[in-house]
Chains A and B, each alone.
Chain A
Amino acid sequence: DVVMTQSPLSLPVTLGQPASISCRSSQSLVHSDGNTYLNWFQQRPGQSPRRLIYKVSNRDSGVPDRFSGSGSGTDFTLKISRVEAEDVGVYYCMQGTHWPPLTFGGGTKVEIK
């Protein structure tokens, strides 16, 4: 199974400042069809997860453009250009290239300093 490793575990950020979350996979996430199935999810306190980014860098509808995804192969990054109060929550990466099983990172908790 592909292991997804996120860092940091916790990310205190000042409002208006950038934030960056790393996600590494135990093997390349490039699918034989040429796509890389790496998604990012946001889970606000008390809510269900919400997909933010799919296939590395594609923002879902309604997701603010301060969120961006990048990376390739085994190394991926979610960036928030200017953190707002509503961004507080836990962020997860997930791979869908080598499944089953779908596998998630352990999560990164974003909080305001």
Chain B
Amino acid sequence: EVQLVESGGGLVKPGGSLRLSCAASGFTFSSYSMNWVRQAPGKGLEWVSSISSSSSYIYYADSVKGRFTISRDNAKNSLYLQMNSLRAEDTAVYYCARSPVDYWGQGTLVTVSS
């Protein structure tokens, strides 16, 4: 069974940093591209970033480019999102999702507030 478990969310002040993790199991992690998708409270879904299976290709939404860094460790079956210079508008539940966006984790809440 495919499982994706996010962690690392929490309350952070504007300008602060946070690192999200996503632990994958039930499939060959190293064979799949992975994604981060977020959902602001009461709002719709917004794609954040994607990374290819070998980390050769990395993409970001314009809204996070230069502030967020996606990475992965295939030996640990883990996906990461380093979030710097956080803003109030980054407040959201962050989901990791396997490409082609077929399986999603349960999400982790990031709240940016002073």
Which A residues are within 8 Å of any B CB, using their own CB? 37, 39, 41, 48-51, 54, 60, 92, 94, 96, 99-107
**Inter-chain contact A96/B101, CB cutoff 8 Å:** yes
Q: Mark B26-48, 1 if CB is under 8 A from A, else 0.
A: 00000000010100000011110
Which B residues are within 8 Å of any A CB, using their own CB? 35, 37, 44-47, 50, 59-62, 95, 100-107
Question: Would you give 5 A-B contacts (Cβ < 8 Å), ordered by A?
Answer: A39-B100, A49-B45, A101-B47, A104-B45, A107-B44
**Inter-chain contact B59/A92, CB cutoff 8 Å:** no
**In the complex, what distance in Å separates the CA atom of A101 from the CA atom of B36?**
12
Given A48-B107, A49-B95, verify A92-B44 contact (CB < 8 Å).
yes
**Inter-chain contact B107/A102, CB cutoff 8 Å:** no
**Inter-chain contact A51/B102, CB cutoff 8 Å:** yes
Closest partner residue, chain A, to B58 (CB atom): A100
**Inter-chain contact A49/B104, CB cutoff 8 Å:** yes
Closest 7 CB pairs between A and B? A100-B59, A102-B47, A104-B45, A48-B104, A107-B44, A101-B47, A51-B102
The contact of A54 among B45, B59, B95, B100, by CB within 8 Å, is B100
Residues on A with beta carbons closer than 8 Å to the beta carbon of B44: 92, 104-107
Residues on A with beta carbons closer than 8 Å to the beta carbon of B95: 48-49
